[in-house]
Structures are given as structure tokens and as C-alpha cells.
Amino acid sequence: MSEGRWSDLAPRIASAVVMVVVGGAGILAGGMWFKLLIAASCGAMIWELVRMLTPAQGSAALQLGALTAVTQFVAWLMPPVALLPIALAVIPVGMSILKSRKWAFAGFALWIALAGIGFVWLRGSLGLTWVAWLICIVVVTDVAGYFAGKAIGGPKFWPAISPKKTWSGTAAGWVGALIVGALFATQMGAGLGLCVVSVLASMASQAGDVLESALKRRTGTKDSSNLIPGHGGFLDRFDGMMGAMALVLVLSLFYSPGV
């Protein structure tokens, strides 16, 4: 077992501790503080997105990131009918000022904005337990995948897009999510269906990670930024969370889970 293989573990753990403290405080507080946390995170991701897509437009990255943070927060202060128009306002603004890759920006910006809305909705409407479930699914998927991939190795999952991911790590993520789903199902009385949804959420989390990896591959970027030591940027860290949230939003159109 080479030391280099685990060289990024210490900064990953240190950054994870900070994220758990800050994120946990925001989630527990809920309300305005959680909305501010989500708004700031979405703003950071839009800033990273624009920097990757159009590196020469640094000022546009700052402007669009700030606009996203403001609109993600203000949208919740407005009547429900205005929620989506305000939260998604960054998309037409960005397409009007970016000089290239406008549609790539629009697609990823839509994903980021809807994920932000989804998390605030999940915390406010379904409660803390469901937020904890989703976070645990994504974290366990990532952690199990990281350690299984490092320790077991084996065939690559999709080397052309994400050369570090292995089938062993991918499968370990599914197993971890199944265990998390079973634990939450027991506590919530949600039934075995939650186990199935948990594995699907794990897959959606991994799909979000692959999608962001494809973006980095396309733009020749190693990390979305260096804002989170050991993890890269906010997009690097929360792409899986946004992938899982996308699945939850789709399922919410057909099912109304109870807390």
C-alpha cells in the first residue's frame, strides 16, 4: 500500500470536518440560515462553472456567481409563483453575457439552481430526517467508493470520462446506500421501498459526479476550483448531492413521502 495512494486523505478529512460543522449547523438551524447556506453554495458553483467554461471572463464569473447567490435567497421571500422565474434568472443573464459555451452554461446552471430549490424545499417541507437521509446516501456512496476503489482497485468504471473511478468503488457505493436505506427505513417506518430508492439515489449521485467529470474533461480542468482542500471546488464536492437531488425532485412529482 503506497503512501501516495492515500496522500490526499488528510486534507480530505480536515475539509470534511469543516463542511460537517458548517453544513450541519445550517441544516439544523433551517429557515433563513439554511437558505443562506444553499444560496452561497449555488453562487460558488456558478462562479466555478463560468470559470471553467470561459476562463477569460473572470468578471462575468463573479457577477453571475453573486447574482445566483442573491436570487436563490430572494426567490424564497417572494410569492410562490415568482420562485422559479427569480431563481432561474441567472440563466438568461448568463447566456446574454457569455461569449462561448452558452448552452453548456444554461444546462449546468439549471441543474444547480433546481438543486438549490430542491434542498430548501426538502428541508422545509419534508423535514430534517429526509435531508439527513439524502446526505447520508451521498456521503456513504462517496466514502465507500473512495476506500473500496483505493483498496481493491480493479477495472475502471468509465476511464474516458472519470479515470479514477472503478467498478469496485461504484458497487461499494450501492451497497453502502442500501445499508443506509435499510437503517432509515427501520427508523421511519418507510418500508423496503426506501431501500430501492436509496440505491437509485446512490446511482444518481454517481451520475452527477460523472457528469461533472465530463465537464472538466471537456474544459481541460482538473478541479472546479481549490476552495475546498482535498476535494477541489464546490462543484467537485456537491455534484453527487445535486445528482441525488435531481432524482428526488423527479420522484416527488409522482410520490409524496411522509416524514
pTM: 0.88
- The DSSP element (H or E) to which 163 belongs, if any, is strand 162-166
237-256 pLDDT per residue, tens = 899 999 999 999 999 887 76
Residue 257 has pLDDT above 60, yes or no: no
pLDDT for res 82: 95
Residues of the chain with pLDDT > 70: what percent? Answer: 91
Concatenating the DSSP letter of every residue in 38-96 gives: HHHHHHHHHHHHHHHH-TT-HHHHHHHHHHHHHHHHHGGGS-GGGHHHHHTTHHHHHHH
Task: Give how far the C-alpha of residue 230 lies from the chain's centroid of Cα atoms, to the nearest Å.
Answer: 16
Rounded to whole angstroms, the Cα distance separating 257 from 120 reads 16
Mean confidence (pLDDT) of the chain: 88
Rounded to whole angstroms, the Cα distance separating 200 from 243 reads 10
Fill in the DSSP letter of residue 230: T
pLDDT for res 227: 84
43 close to 69: Cβ distance less than 8 angstroms: yes
Residue 42 has pLDDT above 80, yes or no: yes
Which residues are paired to 228 by β-bridges?
232
Delimit the domains of the chain by residue range.
3-252
Between 38 and 16, the more confident residue is 38
162-171 pLDDT per residue, tens = 667 777 888 8
Between 213 and 231, the more confident residue is 213
Q: Quick one: average pLDDT of 23-31?
A: 90
Q: Quick one: average pLDDT of 224-236?
A: 84
